Amino acid sequence: MTATTAKPTGPIPAAFVGQTPELHIAGRRAADWAAAGTPVFVYDPAIVAGRVARFRTAFPDIDLHYAIKANPLPDWLAAIAPMMDGLDVASAGELACALAVKPAAAISFAGPGKRDDELLVAIVGGVTLNLESEGEADRALAIADTQGVRPRLAVRVNPDIELRGSGMRMGGRPSPFGIDAARVPALVRRLVAAGADWRGFHVYAGSQALSAEAVAETQGATVALAARLAEAAGAAPPLVNLGGGFGVPYFAGDAPLDIDAVGARLADALAARPAILADSRFAIELGRWLVAEAGVYLARVVDRKESGGETFLIVDGGLHHQLAASGNFGTVVRRNYPLAVADRVGAAAEEVVSVVGPLCTPLDRLGDRVTLPRAEIGDLVAIFLAGAYGATASPAAFLGHPPAREVVAR
């Protein structure tokens, strides 16, 4: 047998560094959070409050929108929505969650393929639609007409730029998202002529970017693009939603995005913005940057086994709850999220193990050859960065295991 080579894990988020001997979440022992059953996601709103405070310092004049797809749990939304200026939703289901915690005027609805019934709910409710195509614009105008309401309509632009260095690029190429920039001025003129309440532009160029230079460059280009489109349309946008894409360090070698540097660069770009944007407001919409670090997924060790000289810790959670940590949600190369044995976070690493779930697929691997203190059956494994794209971005029904519990710390 060959000795098992360890693979690195991502950096444990700052809020949990240095805790010993046990992991605490929101001031309570992980074991207490897990007592009512595992697997469980525990979310701490205080960590989001810290992120929001950092955002406000770096971007004092910019609105902060939360893209609720990152974590739309109703209790969670109730806890964190008051910290946000707006919420962005991607379906009528998300819209219902958002309307429970925010006024319609602070909600925008983006995403291709909005059905007529979704457009209707948004229009009648006074929510801003970020239009994804001319066809969608036609349907929205017709629905508004039949309802006798003035629709709040913004145009999502497929920019002729892309967010360099982002984990997921959504601009600068043929795309199902947004309307090609060259066709946007004509559409804006049409919306204004039809009497719609035109709310401005939405530009979303990518996600999970850690380079301040790349984000700042994209934001600067977005401001310039918005000005060009507004001039060509002959209409000043009330709001320019600059998108987001702020990443978090999931993997070994990742460093946090320097948002102060991004904020300084954006302030410069806005100070020099063309006159047509003089009265526009600007917004940044963020998902994972706000909430990923606020969540921890706790799973209990059910079995320990050896095979071919390797040790496997088999836990009661897996990719059916935390697909992203298994490397199967939008990552090309599988790498390890930060994880720890919750009862012994301060202890020295003793062994190389793979942490796997109960599903009958080799993809169900939450930690691949990670170095941990020895964990026994009954111990808890904590997987960090579980606050975004966890429960709702995972195939919970796969193989019929129960859903994970989700609790919001109060």
Which residue ranges make up the site for ligand PLP (CB under 6 A)?
67, 70, 88, 110, 204, 207-208, 244, 285-289, 388
For 381, phi then psi, to 5°, come to: -105, 130
CA distance 122 to 90: 11
Closer to ligand PLP by Cβ: residue 286 or 372 = 286
Amino acid residing at 42: V
Q: Which residues contact 3 (CB under 8 A, 6 or more apart)?
A: 309
Residue 207 Cβ, how far from ligand PLP at the closest point, in Å? 4
Whether 97 is a known active-site residue: answer no
Task: Determine contact, residues 339/407, Cβ cutoff 8 Å.
Answer: no
Residue 292 Cβ, how far from ligand PLP at the closest point, in Å? 8
Residue 271 Cβ, how far from ligand PLP at the closest point, in Å? 26
Closer to ligand PLP by Cβ: residue 112 or 346 = 112
Task: Determine contact, residues 243/203, Cβ cutoff 8 Å.
Answer: yes
Residue 91 Cβ, how far from ligand PLP at the closest point, in Å? 12
Task: Determine contact, residues 121/92, Cβ cutoff 8 Å.
Answer: yes
CA distance 267 to 59: 8
Q: What share of the chain is helix, strand, coil (3-state, %, to 5)?
A: 35, 25, 40
Closer to ligand PLP by Cβ: residue 154 or 270 = 154
Residue 35 Cβ, how far from ligand PLP at the closest point, in Å? 31
Closer to ligand PLP by Cβ: residue 16 or 204 = 204
DSSP per-residue string spanning 228-241: HHHHHHT---SEEE
Closer to ligand PLP by Cβ: residue 51 or 344 = 51
Task: Determine contact, residues 252/9, Cβ cutoff 8 Å.
Answer: yes
Name the active-site residue from 193, 255, 360, 397: 360
Active site residues: 360
